[in-house]
Structure 1
Amino acid sequence: MRRTVIKVIFVAAVLFATIGHAQAEVRILASPGGQVGPFIELFDRVNASGERVVIDGPCLSACTLVLMMVPTERICVTRRAVLGFHAARSIDRRGRIYAEPEASREVEAAYPTLVREWIARRGGLTSRLLLLRGRELAAIYPRCR
């Protein structure tokens, strides 16, 4: 039986630093991605909390699920923000990696329109990591104030 994973193991210690409740924000400092399940659970809780998400460093692979789970108006980016996208894949018990084209299509379709269009202009989700940063990212998501 295959398990869906995205490149690297979920690393909670470096993933998020929640800034006090008075500021009501979650700050993504550095996330290499990981298994999809923990990210879905985490971003579901963040969405329900009403907190703002500040992307303040690399948010790669499964971390980008935040874009489809938290409303766009509650996400902002800093100059250090980088979003990294690639096609979904699974790893079996023997460590073999398999492409998951149907999952890739579903994930791509769930991203906000401007992100989806940016991905499409670069050939869609493939095994190659697509990095969205700088001016291109700031044209989609506002800079944090």
Structure 2
Amino acid sequence: MPIRLAAIVIPLMLLATSARADLHITRDHGGYVEEYKAKYEHIRKTGQRVIIDGICNSACTLVFGIVPMNKICVTPRASLGFHQAYYDKAFTFGIKVTSYEGTSDLMSYYPSSVKDWIRRNGGLTTEMKKIKNGVDLWKIVDPCPEDF
């Protein structure tokens, strides 16, 4: 009897654990905005936490506009990087061409704390602007608890 019970309980425990897995961001340099929107919508809908424990640049930062802020935290290794959106270089002959519409779309997702930091630091430009751990970062997102 205990073997049958274990055969039922263990798979259910594994299923429950995998459904609530946290997303750990350690080295994310960004990518296609639409892919990140879909990814973070899924994270939001499933109620997962996001732990930023390293680099989160470019489209990765959309997490702040899609996942509730009370579900996001940063470790001392966290770093955020912001820049203007640009068109896929595959369509611009390898030249970096700014997308003002894409940049406006990015900004529309960010909460006021992110927008304020960007404005205080000269707005979005083609150059990456970084926030590393410290007071500026904690004005945007809470530090992770010690036992994350």
Q: Normalised by the size of structure 2, how large is the TM-score?
A: 0.79
Gaps of 5+ in 1: 1-19
**2:66 touches 2:109 (CA, 8 Å); kept in 1?**
no
User: CA-atom RMSD, angstroms?
Assistant: 1.6
Higher mean displacement: 40-49 or 118-127: 40-49
Higher mean displacement: 101-110 or 111-120: 101-110
The answer for the alignment partner of 1:123 in structure 2 is 122
Q: Of Structure 1 and Structure 2, which has the larger fraction of its residues in helix?
A: 2
Q: Of Structure 1 and Structure 2, which has the larger fraction of its residues in strand?
A: 1
Distance 1:106 1:35, change over 3 A: closer
Q: Deviations over 1:11-44 (max 9, x none)?
A: xxxxxxxxx5486411111101112222122111
Matched, 1:53 2:53: no
**2:30 touches 2:60 (CA, 8 Å); kept in 1?**
yes
- Equivalent residues in 2 for 1:43-122, closer than 5 Å: 43-90=40-87, 91=89, 92=91, 94-122=93-121
Where 2:76 maps in the other structure, the secondary structure is coil
Gaps of 5+ in 2: 1-16
In 2, Cα distance between equivalents of 1:88 and 1:137: 22
> % of aligned pairs identical?
37
CA radius of gyration, larger in: 2
| Number of corresponding residues | 126
